Amino acid sequence: ASTAPGRANALSLLDITGKLDASAVQDALTHKHPGVREVALRLSESRLANSPQLQERSLSLAADKNPRVRFHAALAAGFVAQAGNKQNAAKAIALIASKDADDRWARAAALSSAYGIEGELIDALGRGNLKNEALPVIYGELGRMIGQRGTDRKSTRLNSSHTVISYAVFCLKKK
């Protein structure tokens, strides 16, 4: 298809018919039009577990200029984390959470993808030299997620560098 909407529709139709391959998705992730990249991210989710190249390209879109693309990159990062690439997924989620912390939908996408990698996300937020006045909201929501899960230290790695989050978890457990 020669137009961006035509390309996005063609990708969706190929997916529905079972004829969409990973290379076409990879190519679409670098398309100049954000709508095509957005559709490609959505279509990549079911293919991420088996393709490190697709994981890398999807996570790179955490730095995209378009907020809708970043929203879908946050969702895709959750699939990348489930595939075992937790550190890189956390870095991408941290970038999106920092850049779009004021957008509640982007924040929800980032935090839903952080389930099970909260410790890695805390590390990535701390190391990323990220600046946003809304980051305390992210840390607060992460603290709630950890607190609601309980004291399972196997699924959430906390150490002395996470004093603020640990204290938030402690306070939430007291209620």
Q: What is the pLDDT of residues 14-63, one digit of tens each?
A: 999 999 999 999 999 999 999 999 999 999 999 999 999 999 999 999 99
pTM of the model: 0.81
Under 8 Å CB-to-CB from 111, ≥6 apart: which residues?
A: 97, 138, 141, 142, 145
Task: Specify the residue for token string 């779009």.
Answer: 100
Q: How far, in Å, are 31, 51, 77, 78, 159 from residue 85 at the CA level?
A: 24, 11, 9, 10, 21
- The long-range contacts involving 44-50, CB below 8 angstroms and separated by at least 24 positions, are 44/76, 45/75, 45/76, 45/79, 47/22, 48/76, 48/79, 48/80, 48/83, 49/79, 49/82, 49/83, 50/22
pLDDT digit string, tens, across residues 101-138:
888 899 899 999 998 898 888 888 877 666 666 677 78
Q: For residue 171, what pLDDT is reported?
A: 46
Q: For residue 134, what pLDDT is reported?
A: 67
Whole-angstrom Cα distance, residue 59 to residue 46? 15
Whole-angstrom Cα distance, residue 66 to residue 64? 5
